[in-house]
A and B are shown apart, each in its own frame.
Chain A
Amino acid sequence: DTAVSQTPKYLVTQMGNDKSIKCEQNLGHDTMYWYKQDSKKFLKIMFSYNNKELIINETVPNRFSPKSPDKAHLNLHINSLELGDSAVYFCASSQTGNSPLHFGNGTRLTVT
């Protein structure tokens, strides 16, 4: 009965490859997010979708492309991976308004 689940948990790949991370939430929330956490544990917003509509798009390289097929799913596709993309990527969801975020357990991406 995991609330926010993301796969895979670990992703090791080489520079130049393309990879995807999937996220699903069963909380009935209407807003989903992708956050990037660097080695210093700083969480930075990348994207947010509300009811499948992109509402937040931070200054992220356009190699990163989110897709939300429905309000319970948000995927992240990354093209031409670079060393600097290595980080932990978290999916989160919330109800519209000022309600708290609920996070998945992260995907640790390592680019070699």
Chain B
Amino acid sequence: EDQVTQSPEALRLQEGESSSLNCSYTVSGLRGLFWYRQDPGKGPEFLFTLYSAGEEKEKERLKATLTKKESFLHITAPKPEDSATYLCAVQDPGTYKYIFGTGTRLKVLA
């Protein structure tokens, strides 16, 4: 069965302290890996799509990368407003379902 695992579950950073979040997946024939940000009381907000190994996408302090088995979301010099839960998802090539990981809760302290 397709699985998506995110680590760590929770991460506390000081403002300006760069780090990476991990998303590993077992689906074969990846159709797309998606990163989302979710703030409390809101729906997940789309950040990036990655389709093939070696691909990278950037947006402000965030950079997403993809290998054949995992993706990283690098956060450079984070600010308190980057605090949120970050979710990744993959699309199952057979059923077209989007399968989500359990997320990483990021807290950036001023």
Q: Give the interface of A toward B (CB within 8 A).
A: 4, 33, 40-45, 48, 55-56, 90, 92, 98-106
Contacts and interface: CB of A to CB of B under 8 A. Distances in A.
Contact of B102 (A40, A45, A105): A40
Given A4-B43, A41-B103, A90-B43, A98 B87 contact: no
Given A41-B85, A42-B100, A98 B31 contact: yes
Interface of B: 31-32, 34, 36, 38, 41-46, 49, 51, 85, 87, 89, 91, 95-100, 102-103, 105
Contact of A98 (B42, B44, B45, B51): B51
A112 B85 CA distance: 28
Contacts, number: 57
Contacts of B45: 103
Nearest to A40: B102
Nearest to B31: A98
A98 B91 contact: yes
A3 to B, nearest CB: 10
Contacts of B87: 41, 43
A33 B49 CA distance: 19
B9 to A, nearest CB: 9
